[in-house]
């Protein structure tokens, strides 16, 4: 009898311990899997681009983020071609970039052209730059503009203008350099989008679509270019303290200002360091801060990854980030409703007077 009871207790004790044993096995498997990913991920990552002696072309390089990217690359020994429309600003930017030289062989070339107007002209000036400074190793598409306003209040031709500058202004220079990059089996192409190119916000019905378009271009282009050892990076900076941002802020709707204030304003030098590092490493996505990391994970979709670990992080965090995002969206909707109610009350008060 005692033998039977002992057998029964030992049998049931085993079943009680089984969940814990299974949990330990699963935990051990996850740890082993993560360690394996960290071990093999460097094998599938691209070799970093060496900026020392490289030729970097920066469109929109006369001010703001573009100028700071040029300065950051120059600090690493690159040769720079600055492309922008305003000749006076280009000359000033050249002087600032040249102060960042690390050797006396470096050169800064300035080209005044509107990259959104005529592809043949863009192709011609890129060819001239390559004849003077050698093949383009990295292209930074930073030329862009922004306007904000309610959908029905934005002039129709401004929608076309933003697509020309923000989208075609990146297509044309990219088209002008990819053939040589493919022949050399190397290169980096960066598109500077915006966090407004990851999430559509109040007041950005003209701006957001032009920045969203860069994401689609970059994903398709990366699939074409990867076999040739050419890597594409899309940067999603938040509001950044630049002349363009200051100009845009003058006409921002109240709702847009209140929503933007939830994430703060970055400095262009800080943005430049991060995007240059990501481009050199060949990372497809370049984001900024906790909000930027969350947005990039949430909107990754079918985007390429540079390492398996990056993909694993996106898989693990997706559900949590979506939950957090719902609270953000609720807050944004609340801001919009509150502003609408205040306007209606103000109109009603004016009518009574």
Active site residues: 193, 207, 211
**Hunting for tokens 């280009």 — which residue is that?**
90
Looking at the DSSP bridge assignments, the partners of residue 57 are 81, 139
Could you tell me if 245 and 42 are in contact, meaning their C-beta atoms sit under 8 angstroms apart? Answer: no
**Residues 151, 92: Cα–Cα separation, whole Å:** 36
Q: State whether the Cα torsion 314-315-317-319 is positive or negative.
A: positive
Looking at the DSSP bridge assignments, the partners of residue 191 are 141, 234
**Residues 177, 133: Cα–Cα separation, whole Å:** 14
Instruction: Spell out the alpha helix ranges (H) of the chain.
Output: 2-44, 64-75, 87-98, 119-133, 156-162, 169-184, 207-225, 243-249, 254-260, 268-281, 289-298, 308-352
* End-to-end CA separation in angstroms for the chain: 97
Could you tell me if 128 and 179 are in contact, meaning their C-beta atoms sit under 8 angstroms apart? Answer: no
**Residues 292, 289: Cα–Cα separation, whole Å:** 5
Structure-token pair, residue 193:
């989008």
């Amino acid at each position: 009898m005692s033998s039977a009871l002992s057998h029964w207790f030992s049998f049931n004790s085993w079943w009680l311990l089984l969940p814990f044993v299974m949990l330990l096995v699963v935990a051990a498997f996850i740890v082993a899997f993560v360690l394996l990913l960290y071990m093999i991920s460097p094998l599938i990552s691209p070799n970093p681009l060496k900026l020392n002696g490289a030729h970097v072309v920066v469109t929109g390089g006369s001010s703001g983020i573009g100028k700071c990217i040029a300065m950051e690359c120059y600090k690493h020994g690159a040769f720079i071609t600055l492309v922008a429309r305003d000749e006076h600003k280009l000359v000033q930017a050249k002087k600032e970039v040249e102060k960042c030289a690390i050797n006396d062989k470096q050169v800064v070339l300035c080209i005044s052209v509107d990259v959104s107007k005529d592809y043949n002209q863009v192709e011609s000036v890129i060819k001239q730059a390559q004849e003077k400074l050698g093949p383009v190793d990295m292209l930074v598409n930073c030329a862009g503009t922004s306007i904000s306003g309610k959908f029905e209040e934005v002039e129709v031709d401004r929608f076309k203008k933003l697509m020309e500058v923000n989208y075609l202004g990146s297509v044309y220079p990219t088209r002008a350099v990819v053939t040589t990059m493919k022949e050399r089996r190397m290169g980096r192409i960066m598109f500077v989008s915006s966090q407004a190119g990851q999430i559509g916000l109040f007041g950005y019905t003209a701006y957001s679509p032009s920045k969203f378009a860069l994401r689609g271009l970059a994903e398709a282009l990366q699939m074409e270019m990867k076999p040739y050892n050419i890597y594409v990076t899309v940067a999603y900076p938040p509001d950044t303290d630049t002349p363009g941002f200051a100009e845009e802020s003058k006409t921002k709707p109240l709702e847009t200002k209140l929503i933007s204030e939830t994430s703060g304003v970055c400095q262009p030098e800080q943005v430049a360091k991060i995007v240059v590092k990501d481009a050199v490493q060949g990372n497809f996505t370049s984001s900024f801060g906790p909000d930027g990391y969350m947005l990039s994970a949430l909107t990754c979709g079918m985007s390429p990854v540079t390492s398996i670990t990056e993909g694993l992080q996106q898989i693990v965090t997706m559900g949590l980030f979506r939950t957090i995002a719902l609270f953000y969206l609720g807050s944004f909707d609340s801001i919009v409703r509150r502003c609408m109610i205040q306007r209606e009350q103000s109109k009603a008060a004016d009518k009574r007077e």
